[in-house]
């Protein structure tokens, strides 16, 4: 297929029936913690054309239970956390942790699922679980954080291009083609333009429909200015193969994105940090431009309650969205539930929000609905009982009863096998407005 750009004819790979063309799109970048369901929905509300979900490790998705939540209208992929499986006696009614949540009606075919992987087989297995709900699968080949690179994922794949290409080829053949969606990849700059161009050429030959270049090298951090000198050569290389090329790095608004796309010849642009601070950055000036932080915060909180977003995640995002010098920031940091938040931000007299906050707190069992916690003595007693039961099960010498007991009591999977935290936030630095949880940075 060919298309005409600025008077010239360029090649274009076919867009799959259930996929999406990345050309001309301003999209939400994949961000761990900042790319959860409510963040994506508010970005779409303010004009984002597409949204990338947060990088989700393939091993975390494999083995999850898929359910449709009638209350939130979301599709949830969940499982018991490794912490909860150590001793089920402590919390026999423990809810499964949500590994990935998407809203088919409100984001559906505008959602790109980004996967963290280092193996073609597990990549295909995990991607197949979500393929029918999304417009595409994107491979993270740019995250520089240790939780990703130590497993051979993220930016580590830039050093093993053949492995990266094998992953993409497998996804194209076994996930993309059967589900008729596109496969794409997100990378960073290599040390030289020649190395970057060579890698891009290899990647474009795998059958992908899109490639995003984060205009920073692996050692660089978000605070360092993006390097755009190689953008044009990367875009030209993508276009030779008919692959759409998106840019990422220091893009702050829709209007700026269009200017940069024209200047560097790329097909689309991702917005990351600016969207984390105020998602209305996706709205063009002609349509109203950037909304006040008050408006954006209220809309975000409302959406978070509608989808019953995890409280810690909502509070973290509010720490990015509310200016630190505002009285509302300090008031927000003291809250421990949606009900307290609505009161603290002065929305308590709005019946709709107050009632929604109450229902959400009840569903999440936080605030006034939080269950009593075990005392130290009670927890110690239950741990002893669990150890005793586990020892008794070991004495059954491998009988069926013993095997079944071992599956219930005292069993602990390795973190490498389970990877249930999607992905390990514990490796991140502390973020504003969070007490028990860790903050994250951009996934790529």
Question: Mean pLDDT throughout 226-232?
Answer: 96
Question: Mean pLDDT throughout 198-208?
Answer: 98
What residues contact residue 285 under an 8 Å CB cut-off, 6+ apart? 255
Residue 175 per-residue DSSP state: I
Give the model's pLDDT for residue 148: 86
Assess contact for 29 and 139: CB atoms under 8 A.
no
Least confident of 35-39, 217-221, 292-296, 408-412: 408-412
Up-side HSE of residue 202: CA atoms within 13 Å toward CB?
Answer: 17
Please check whether residue 420 lies inside any domain of the structure: no
Residue 190 per-residue DSSP state: -
118, 243, 26, 266 alpha-carbon torsion, rounded to 10°: 120
Domain total in the chain = 3
Question: Mean pLDDT throughout 171-176?
Answer: 98
Statement: residue 96 has pLDDT above 80: yes
State the alpha helices, DSSP H only, in 46-181.
58-61, 82-85, 120-130, 146-149, 161-171, 177-179
194 & 340 share domain: no
Give the model's pLDDT for residue 375: 76
pTM score: 0.84
Q: 371, 394, 429 — which closes off a domain? A: 371
Annotated catalytic residue: which of 143, 204, 245, 281? 143
**Dihedral pair phi/psi, residue 274, rounded to 5°:** -60, -35
Q: 338, 371, 404 — which closes off a domain? A: 371
Query: pLDDT by residue (tens digit) across 112-141?
Result: 999 999 999 999 999 999 999 999 999 999
Statement: residue 302 has pLDDT above 50: yes
314 & 190 share domain: no
* Containing structural domain, residue 119: 2-287
User: Strand, helix or coil at 187?
Assistant: strand
**Dihedral pair phi/psi, residue 104, rounded to 5°:** -55, -40
Assess contact for 140 and 134: CB atoms under 8 A.
no
**How many angstroms from the chain centroid is the CA of residue 305?**
19
Please check whether residue 21 lies inside any domain of the structure: yes
251 & 398 share domain: no
Least confident of 67-71, 129-133, 170-174, 375-379: 375-379
Q: Which two tokens stand for residue 95?
A: 């809810």
Give the model's pLDDT for residue 434: 33
* Closest to 31 measured CA to CA, from 428, 325, 337: 428
Query: pLDDT by residue (tens digit) across 33-78?
Result: 999 999 999 999 999 999 999 999 999 999 999 999 999 999 999 9
CATH of the domain at 104: 3.20.20.70
Statement: residue 248 has pLDDT above 90: yes
330 & 274 share domain: no
Statement: residue 432 has pLDDT above 60: no
Up-side HSE of residue 248: CA atoms within 13 Å toward CB?
Answer: 29
Per the DSSP assignment, residues forming a β-bridge with 121 are none
Q: Which two tokens stand for residue 80?
A: 């018991």
Give the model's pLDDT for residue 94: 65
Concerning whether 281 is annotated as a catalytic residue, the answer is no
Give the model's pLDDT for residue 173: 98
Residue that the structure tokens 């790529």 belong to:
444
83 & 180 share domain: yes
152 & 249 share domain: yes
């Amino acid at each position: 297929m060919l298309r005409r750009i600025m008077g010239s004819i360029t090649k274009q790979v076919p867009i799959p029936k259930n996929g999406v063309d990345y050309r001309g799109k301003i999209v939400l970048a994949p961000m761990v913690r900042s790319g959860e369901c409510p963040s994506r929905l508010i970005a779409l509300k303010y004009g984002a054309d597409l949204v990338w979900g947060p990088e989700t490790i393939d091993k975390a998705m494999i083995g999850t239970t898929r359910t449709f939540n009638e209350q939130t209208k979301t599709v949830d992929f969940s499982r018991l956390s490794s912490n909860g499986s150590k001793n089920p006696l402590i919390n026999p009614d423990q809810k499964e942790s949500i590994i990935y949540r998407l809203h088919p009606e409100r984001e559906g075919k505008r959602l790109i699922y980004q996967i963290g992987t280092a193996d073609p087989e597990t990549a295909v297995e995990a991607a197949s679980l979500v393929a029918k709900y999304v417009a595409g699968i994107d491979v993270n080949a740019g995250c520089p954080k240790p939780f990703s690179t130590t497993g051979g994922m993220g930016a580590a794949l830039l050093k093993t291009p053949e492995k990266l290409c094998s992953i993409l080829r497998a996804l194209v053949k076994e996930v993309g083609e059967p589900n008729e969606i596109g496969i794409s990849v997100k990378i960073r700059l290599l040390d030289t333009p020649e190395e970057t161009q060579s890698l891009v050429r290899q990647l474009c030959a795998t059958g992908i429909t899109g490639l995003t270049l984060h205009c920073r090298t692996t050692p660089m951090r978000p605070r360092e200015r993006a390097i755009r000198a190689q953008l044009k050569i990367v875009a030209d290389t993508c276009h030779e193969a008919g692959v759409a090329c998106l840019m990422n790095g220091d893009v702050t608004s829709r209007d700026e994105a269009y200017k940069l796309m024209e200047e560097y010849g790329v097909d689309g642009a991702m917005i990351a940090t600016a969207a984390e601070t105020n998602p209305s950055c996706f709205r063009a000036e002609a349509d109203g431009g950037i909304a006040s932080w008050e408006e954006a915060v209220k809309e975000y909180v409302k959406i978070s309650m509608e989808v019953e977003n995890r409280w810690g995640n909502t509070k973290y995002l509010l720490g990015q969205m509310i200016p630190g010098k505002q009285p509302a920031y300090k008031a927000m940091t003291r809250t421990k539930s949606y009900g307290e938040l609505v009161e603290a931000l002065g929305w308590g007299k709005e019946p709709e929000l107050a009632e929604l906050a109450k229902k959400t707190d009840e569903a999440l069992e936080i605030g006034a609905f939080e269950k009593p916690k075990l005392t130290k003595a009670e927890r110690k007693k239950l741990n002893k009982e669990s150890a005793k039961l586990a020892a008794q099960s070991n004495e059954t010498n491998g009988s069926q009863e013993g095997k079944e007991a071992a599956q219930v009591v005292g069993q602990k999977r390795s973190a490498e096998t389970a990877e249930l935290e999607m992905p390990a936030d514990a490796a991140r630095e502390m973020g504003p407005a969070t007490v028990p949880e860790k903050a994250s940075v951009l996934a790529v």
